[in-house]
Amino acid sequence: MGKVVVVATVLGAAAVCAAAVGGLIVSRRMKNGAKWSRTIEILRDFEEKCGTPVEKLKQVTDALIVEMNAGLHSDKGGRVKMLISYVDNLPTGEEDGLFYALDLGGTNFRVLRVQLGGKDGGIKHQEFAEVPIPMELMIGTSDDLFDYIASELAKFVTQEGEEFQLPFGRERELGFTFSFPVMQTSIDSGTLITWAKGFCIDDTVGKDVAEELAKALKKQGVDMHVTALVNDTVGTLAGGRFSNKDVIAAVILGTGTNAAYVERAEAIPKWHGPLPKSGEMVINTEWGNFQTSNLPLTEYDKALDCDSPNSGEQIYEKMISGMYLGDIVRRVLYRMAEEASFFGGTIPPKLGIPFILRTPDMSAMHHDTSADLSVIGSKIKDILEIPTLSLKKRKVIHDLCRIVATRGARLAAAGILGILKMVGRDTLLSCNEKQKSVVAMDGGLYEHYTEFRECLEETLKELVGDKVWEHISIEHANDGSGIGASLLAASHSRYLEPEVKESQDDIVVVPSMLSED
């Protein structure tokens, strides 16, 4: 009997232990189930708040038009500055001769030269070089920076081959694309308001950047005149118009975003003095600073803005441009890790680093079509140092990338619709069967993020309707701002015949301030 009791006792203890283990397993499953439910809840809540139905997009467009009209009336009219570019005659395709360009907008700059062939000749030859800017020059002195740029430009000039011909007795002319906030006072002058993108050179602020470059070129012994100072979006428009006479606007969707378009001069109340003979003026919208209550802002967007050095500014840009999209994805993933243990028991340290997840990484994950979403697994391993991730979690990340990209692309399309409305090209009545409304597009986001690009175009088609869409075309203008600057130097050359330059002589200088971003 004693043995039976012992056996029964052992069996009873085993049963209790098994029940306890089973209870732990069930409890763990319940907890895991709750965590997964929370993950999906965060994802769906974010998707709902990012919603961009057609009616909302049209409200965004209408609000943008109100801001654009206010900017045309006054430099202090609103957030969208609508800056006068002093470009009243875009390239016609008949430009002839050798022209240079300098494109400065980040940690590298490009120098270009183009040989134009006149009517029907197009661009006969072109060459370029890209030069990195040493970090110490980005925080040094104005003289040091411009002397360095001029010295590199001087080297580039010495490599000018026989296929590039400068007419006898002429000085080389240069178009200067300067993608920082300046107060533009004419086609070839403008004073720096503030630096951005990692530059911090106090003694340049308040100086005419075209004059600073001219001074440095003279010091280097380079015989070259700065003929045009332009924003990169205006340069892209000029390059697009040179290739296609139907180009009416240019949009940049890259690290940041901006747009420029051709406006009737008489529709610009803040323009004072005689109207240019062409009757037109290129407007640099600076639309990145657009803001309206109709934008589908989420708590993640608000946190990103709050953490940025320009909090309260460039809200539209922060929702649609390449610098920010990847970080919005990161912020949602951080919430999932924090509230739903998405990456396990602890939050990956790397996930807390702002901008560690870049938009090119997001694009690669969004474009992952493999059965096991292996690209997403590799990216998460490389960036966040998480060795394994289940397929269902990879699918969540794929969905998250899609949501952020779709919202950005659809909002960008609403902006383009705003420009079409401003120039009266948004209805069937305004469509000329023989004429297209072409928008020149540049920027790495548009060029490389296929899902973003296709969504933008599909959304614009949805907004204007099939019939109007037949008359609209979006064309990629690779390196538009650099080529465009050289073309604007050509179309504003000091050596043009008097009758060609007559429209320029009628322009009265009216200072106009670029926004600080």
Asked if 479 is an active-site residue, the reply is no
Instruction: Tell me whether residue 217 is exposed, middle or buried, using C-beta atoms within 10 angstroms of its C-beta: 0 to 12, 13 to 18, 19 or more.
Output: buried
> Which one from 103, 147, 188, 232 is the annotated catalytic residue?
232
Instruction: Tell me whether residue 294 is exposed, middle or buried, using C-beta atoms within 10 angstroms of its C-beta: 0 to 12, 13 to 18, 19 or more.
Output: middle
At 316, list the tokens.
């539209």
- With both helix axes pointing from N to C terminus, report the angle between 322-340 and 391-422 in degrees, rounded to the nearest 10: 140
User: What residues contact 271, with CB distance under 8 A and at least 6 apart?
Assistant: 84, 265, 281, 510
Q: Is 435 left (phi over 0), alpha (psi -120 to 50) or beta?
A: beta
> Which one from 179, 189, 493, 512 is the annotated catalytic residue?
179
Asked if 494 is an active-site residue, the reply is no
Asked if 232 is an active-site residue, the reply is yes
> Which one from 110, 335, 394, 410 is the annotated catalytic residue?
110
At 371, list the tokens.
């059965």
- With both helix axes pointing from N to C terminus, report the angle between 480-491 and 232-243 in degrees, rounded to the nearest 10: 80
Q: Which of 333, 378, 377 is nearest to 354 (CA)?
A: 333
Hey, is 182 helix, strand or coil? strand
Residue with tokens 């296709």: 454
Return the amino acid letter for 364.
A
Question: What is the H or E stretch that residue 229 is in?
Answer: strand 224-230
Active site residues: 110, 179, 232
